[in-house]
Structure 1
Amino acid sequence: MEISKSLIAGLIIASSFLSGGCASNNAQEQLSTSTTNNASVDNSDPRDPLEPINRIMWDFNWELLDAYFLRPVTVGYVTVMPQFARTGLVNAAQNLQEPANFMNNLFQGKIDDGLDSLARFVLNSTVGIFGTIDVASHIGIARKEEEFGETLGTWGVNTGPFLMLPVLGPNDPRSFSGEVVDGMVYPMAVIDGGLAIARYVVSLLETRAQLMDQEAQLEQAVDDYAFVKNAYFENLAFKVSDGKSSDKAIEQEQLDDFADFEAMLEGTDFEYIDEQTNDEQQNDQKEKENELE
């Protein structure tokens, strides 16, 4: 399983996952609106029936485990480890996921993306020296990451209740099951314990390192737990729809705004002027037709 989702990792990083429209900002706005209207955080989220327990787990993960262990270790790792070595380790860890990417792309009907994932695995595992060098990206074959949890989502399987797991952080039954399946795909299923642990540790530390710049957003949140939960679900929807969900939401919001604006004009002088202008244009058109005759 992907420990890179561990602790906050999960989906505070989701706060910067959307290019063009951060889910974290949407989550923050929703939470602020709810708090302003109700003077308290709404604890009746149907996605989160286990909220009292989940909040306890969140406090443990964020205020204890991360504050006193993960963050200090990550700072030391970033300080000591040269950038080229970090890049090589991340490339190698991601390369081990390419067969799972291949499988999930095929299951989702993305044949070309699946073949790209297979080509990446072959190239990077050989020419790229066991995946430490991302040769495929250099020649234009981009990474097409897909998880089995996302595949289940495209098949119509719901996420199930939100789960804040000890150490592993934000999760849900669909994603958790997907990680188990992805872990059974070659070569993940055959790598020994030491290599598997090394991969998990590298993924965890690199994810936490990327999170450093996002900590301010979490600290400013009215309710950090709700902030992470909302961002988590928005990220899931974004990934399952390949980013189309946010585009649809924006389009719908624009349509709603236009409908409201149109309703405001009804019965106003603007509406009268618009009708008058249309009548004048029709009269001008008739006069031109008569002249031509």
Structure 2
Amino acid sequence: MNRMGRFSTLLAILLLAACASQNTRSPAPQEKFPVAEQAAATGQGWSDSGAALSPEDPWEGFNRKVYAFNDVLDRALLRPAAKGYAKVTPSGVRTGVSNFFGNLQQPLTALNLLLQGHPGQAGTAVGRFLMNAVLGFGGILDPASSVGVPLRNRDFGQTLATWGWKDSRYLVLPIFGPGTVRDGLGKGVSSQASAISWLARREGAEVSILYGLDARASVLPLENFMQDASDPYLLVRDAYMQRRRCQIIDCSEEMPDYLLPDYDFEVPDFDTLR
């Protein structure tokens, strides 16, 4: 099974959700600038473009600027580097790299499952980590999936939501991309507790660079899904918030399979990128 890092999985889901862009509409011209009395009565904010601000995204102006910065950085540096990595690295090696980093995330997943009140699933995550580490040459191979051990990914943002922080404002972070205030705090905790961060501190920045290249390269074949979006920012925001909600509560009956948190899908072959 092709294992994508947490960051790459998120991007893949957002890209796959591009078809939802048809449901994003701009307010009619006469609704763009309501009278002051109406705005005061409803508490409704308005963006620079005149569109109503989402209650979950009151900082849209700031978030759009960070989103634009991330997009420029991606086009100038991250995407070209990822394309070079995908072109020169054999597919088997890329799969091994993805498996390795994915396995290193399992101890953190186990900790969060335990904090979320799922000791049985936490034990399964530990077992998966040990099986792949021992029988999979440090996690390069994935024998755990071959025998049906499920792959789960849990983070501290989800743990905070389980503890009661259900709603949180949307916040786009430089480099890290879409998130919320709660999830940003969770990412900060994860960056300190992750085995990948520990390995990077021990072995050097090359580990972080390889992890980032693997994550970005894994979504290269899916970029075409974003091309027809009328407003990529709204598409990414709405898809992120919807999927994040479904990582916190069970909404399996409300969403297609490919948007479910633990849905396993095959990424198109990198060798098609020429």
- Whether these two folds match at TM > 0.5 is yes
Match of 1:264 in 2: none
Indicate how the Cα distance of structure 1 residues 90 and 210 shifts in structure 2: closer, same or farther if over 3 A, else same: closer
Give the 5 Å matches for 1:136-215. Answer: 136-185=144-193, 187-188=195-196, 190-193=198-201, 195=203, 197-215=205-223
Matches within 5 A, 1:66-81: 66-81=74-89
What secondary structure sits across from 2:242 in the alignment? helix
Structure 1 unmatched ranges of 5 or more: 17-21, 251-293
> Among residues 121, 128, 148, which one is paired with 2:136 in the alignment?
128
CA contact (8 A) 1:150 1:240 kept: yes
**Residue matched to 2:248:** 240
| Residues 88-124 of structure 1, C-alpha deviations (whole Å, 9 max, x = no match) | 1111111111111111112222222111101011122
Q: C-alpha distance in 2, partners of 1:113/1:41?
A: 47
Instruction: Show the 5 A alignment for 1:104-115.
Output: 104-115=112-123
Matched AA of 1:93: F
Shift of 1:141: 1.0
**Which residue of 2 is the match for residue 55 of structure 1?**
64
How far apart are residue 230 of structure 1 and its match?
0.7
Residue identity (%): 29
How is 1:39-50 mapped onto 2 (pairs within 5 angstroms)?
42-50=51-59
Aligned residue in 1 for 2:12: 13
Deviation at 1:81, TM superposition (A): 0.4
Q: TM-score, normalised by structure 2?
A: 0.74
Structure 2 residue identity aligned to 1:141: V
Shift of 1:58: 1.2
Indicate how the Cα distance of structure 1 residues 246 and 199 shifts in structure 2: closer, same or farther if over 3 A, else same: farther
**Inter-partner Cα distance in structure 1 for 2:139 and 2:57:** 39
CA deviations 1:202-247 (Å, max 9, x no partner) are: 3432332333333233221111111111111012112222xx3251
Q: Secondary structure of the equivalent of 1:59?
A: helix
Kindly provide the CA deviation profile for residues 118-171 of structure 1, in whole angstroms up to 9, marking residues without a partner as x: 101112222222211112112221212111111222222135222222222112
What is the CA–CA distance in structure 2 between the aligned matches of 1:149 and 1:78, rounded to whole Å?
A: 31
Aligned equivalents of 1:84 and 1:183: distance in 2? Answer: 28
Cα distance in structure 1, aligned partners of 2:168 and 2:252: 21
Cα distance in 2 for partners of 1:118, 1:68 equals 39
Residue 174 of structure 1 deviates from its aligned partner by 1.3
Q: Is the 8 A contact 2:103 2:132 kept in 1?
A: yes
Give the drift of 1:66: 1.3
Match of 1:262 in 2: none
1:101 aligns with 2:109: yes
RMSD over aligned Cα, in angstroms? 2.8
Secondary structure of the residue aligned to 2:150 is: coil
* Mapped contact 1:98–1:120 kept (Cα < 8 A): yes
| CA distance in 2 between partners of 1:105 and 1:125 (Å) | 20
1:230 matched to 2:223: no
Find the aligned partners of 1:41 and 1:80 in 2 and give their Cα distance: 46
Higher fraction of helix:
1
- Residue in structure 1 matched with residue 265 of structure 2 by the alignment: none
Decide which moves more: 182-191 or 100-109: 182-191
Is the 1:159–1:173 contact (alpha carbons within 8 Å) kept by the matching residues of 2?
Answer: no
> CA deviation digits over 1:247-292, x for unaligned, max 9?
1479xxxxxxxxxxxxxxxxxxxxxxxxxxxxxxxxxxxxxxxxxx
Corresponding residue for residue 19 of structure 1 = none
CA distance in 1, matches of 2:76, 2:135: 41
Alignment gaps of 5+ in structure 2: 33-48, 257-274
Structure with greater Cα Rg: 1
How high is the TM-score relative to the length of structure 1?
Answer: 0.70
Taking the aligned partners of 1:95 and 1:104, their CA distance within structure 2 comes to 15
**Residues 41, 90 of structure 1: CA spacing in aligned structure 2 closer, same or farther, 3 A cutoff?**
farther
Q: 2:253 is matched by which residue type in structure 1?
A: D
Q: 1:41 to 1:205 in 2, by over 3 A?
A: farther
Q: Distance in 1 between matches of 2:167 and 2:196?
A: 24
